[in-house]
Amino acid sequence: MPIPAPFPFPGVTATLDDEALILRSDELLNILSSAVVGGGFMRAGVIINRHVSKDYDHPNPAAELMAFARRQGVEGNFVGLMTAVYMKNTRIIALAEGDVRLTLVMTAGFSNAAAAGLSPSADLRPGTINLIFLIDARLTPAAMVNAVITATEAKTHTLREWGLQTPDGLPATGTSTDAIVVACTDRGPRFDYAGPVTPVGRLMARAVRQGLETAQP
Residue 12 in contact with residue 136, Cβ under 8 Å?
no
- Model confidence pLDDT, tens digit, residues 112-132: 667 777 666 655 555 589 999
Q: How confident is the model at residue 42 (pLDDT cuts 50, 70, 90)?
A: very high
Q: What is the pLDDT of residue 125?
A: 53
Give, for 71, the enclosing helix (H) or strand (E). Answer: helix 61-71
Find, among 162, 161, 158, 156, the residue nearest to 115 by Cα.
Answer: 156
Give, for 201, the enclosing helix (H) or strand (E). Answer: helix 199-215
Give, for 213, the enclosing helix (H) or strand (E). Answer: helix 199-215
- Model confidence pLDDT, tens digit, residues 186-196: 999 999 999 99
- Average model confidence (pLDDT) across the chain: 91
The counts of H helices and E strands in the chain are 3, 12
State the average pLDDT over residues 62-89: 95
Q: Which residues pair with 93 in a beta bridge?
A: 104
Q: Does residue 73 or residue 126 have the better pLDDT?
A: 73
121 to each of 114, 124, 148, 170, 209, how far by Cα in Å? 10, 9, 23, 14, 28
pTM for the full predicted model: 0.92
- Model confidence pLDDT, tens digit, residues 13-30: 999 999 999 999 999 999
Q: How far is residue 126's CA from residue 122's CA, in Å, rounded to a whole number?
A: 12
Domains assigned to the chain: 12-215 (3.60.70.12)
10 Å Cβ neighbour count for 98?
8
Angle at the Cα of 30 (from 194 to 63), degrees rounded to 5? Answer: 120
Q: How confident is the model at residue 70 (pLDDT cuts 50, 70, 90)?
A: very high
Q: Which residues pair with 46 in a beta bridge?
A: 24
Q: What percent of the chain has pLDDT over 70?
A: 92
199 to each of 27, 103, 136, 196, how far by Cα in Å? 24, 14, 12, 8
